[in-house]
Amino acid sequence: MAQATVKRRRVRAARAQLPGGPYLLLVPALVALALVSLYPLYYGIRASVTHYLYGRDFGSAGLENYRRVYHDPYFHQAMWTTGKYVLVVVTCETVLGLGLALLVSREIRFASPIRVGLILPMTIAPVVVGVMWRLMYDSGIGVTDPLFQAFGFKAPEVLASNTSAFIGVCIVDIWEWTPLIFLIVLAGLQSLPQEPLEAARVDGAGRVRLFFDHTLPLLAPVLLVAIVLRTIDAIGTFDQIYVLTGGGPGVSTQLISIYAYNTAFLFSQYGLAAAMLISLLAMVMLLMIAAVRLMKRVAV
């Protein structure tokens, strides 16, 4: 009897804590989040209007860093290269990922091991992927040159010339990240309502008609999420390029992240690099807002 009272009192005590309780649970995590988002953002904006010399803080620079960045031909070049890169890889990954998901979503044998095999590339560290492909592209020991020669073509020496290096790094990205789009689209396909598709099939719609008139519109929201996710990640691509080409030959594969990294850590121009990245963030934000708008419209 006495024990029961104690228990009940404890329940009441636990309830009584609730007004402050939920906030106490949330605060440590929010501090951790702020530490890697809001604080660096503030710090980055401040660094972008600071004058650095040999890595030392030499006081306010006003908008000088931004002015220099906008007149820097290498910055323009890097933005252009990044845009091209994102467009090429996201387009290819979407088409391939969608195609693969459509193949695998049909009833096939060994679906589970096939799925694990297909997503292997995206689980491995991008640096390791970079090392792997750098060795495969190598003209002394690699795979690509003998492969081309076996079919009677000239050995391409992929990473040695501007165009082929750019195509080469794109292929690596496509190899690594098509699985992400594949996975998301596959999940989307499996959760599609079956009735409208059945009905259309009964009405005698062919496979192609069925896909474009029924499956694709139903799939659009999921596909869009996958594309937005991939686009944002692709804009920040760094690891594989750093390992594969370091931005070269020349500046042919110098994405904005590589250029900003070099500006900050090779030349200790933190202010300039911060100004580049804040500008980039503004653009990514605009892109995200547009994407959210678009998603809302498609979802309706």
Partner 1 sequence: MRARLPRIGLYATLIAVLVIAAFPFWWMLDESLKQPVDIFSGVTLYPHHPTLTNYSQLFNSYHFGAYLENSILIVTMTVAISLVLGTLAAYSLARFNLRFGLNQSSLVVALLVRMIPGILLVIPLYLMLAKWGLLNTRIGLVIIYTGINTSFVIWMMQSFLAEIPRDIEEAAMVDGDSRLSALRRVVLPLAAPGLAATAIFSVIATYNDFLIALSLTSTPAAQTVPVGVSTLIGKIQIQIGPMAAAGVIGALPIVIFALIVQRHFVRGLTLGAVK
- Range 137-146, long-range pairs (CB < 8 A, 24+ positions): 137/168, 137/244
Told to check if 169 binds partner 1 by CB under 8 A, we report: no
Instruction: For residue 145, give Cα distances in angstroms to 68, 137, 175, 249.
Output: 42, 7, 18, 18
Q: How far apart are CA 230 and CA 86, in angstroms?
A: 9
CB nearer partner 1, residue 123 or residue 163: 123
Contacts of partner 1 in 33-62 (CB under 8 A): 33-41, 43-44, 47
Nearest distance from C-beta of residue 38 to partner 1, angstroms: 7
Work out whether 146 is an interface residue with partner 1 (CB under 8 A): yes
Please, what is the minimum distance in Å from the beta carbon of residue 235 to partner 1?
A: 6
Stretch that binds partner 1, among 67-75, 160-168, 173-181, 213-221 (CB under 8 A): 173-181
Binding mask 216-245 for partner 1 (x = CB under 8 A): ---------x---x--xx-xx-xx--xx--
Q: Which is nearer to partner 1, 11 or 199 (CB)?
A: 11
| 3-class SS string, 32-83 | HHHHHCHHHHHHHHHHHCEEEECCEEEEECCCHHHHHHHCCHHHHHHHHHHH
Shortest Å, Cβ 117 to partner 1 = 5
Residue 175 lies near partner 1 (rule: CB under 8 A): yes
DSSP per-residue letters across 235-261 = HT--HHHHHHTTT-STTTT--HHHHHH
Q: Which is nearer to partner 1, 164 or 279 (CB)?
A: 279
Stretch 189-218 residues interacting with partner 1 (CB under 8 A): none
Does the protein bind partner 1 through residue 290 (CB under 8 A)? no
* CA-CA-CA-CA torsion sign (191, 192, 194, 198): negative
Q: Contact between 128 and partner 1 (CB under 8 A)?
A: yes
Any contact of residue 296 with partner 1 (CB under 8 A)? no
Q: Measuring CA to CA, which residue among 36, 38, 62, 58 is closest to residue 48? A: 62
Binders of partner 1 in range 89-118 (CB under 8 A): 100, 103-104, 106, 108, 114-118
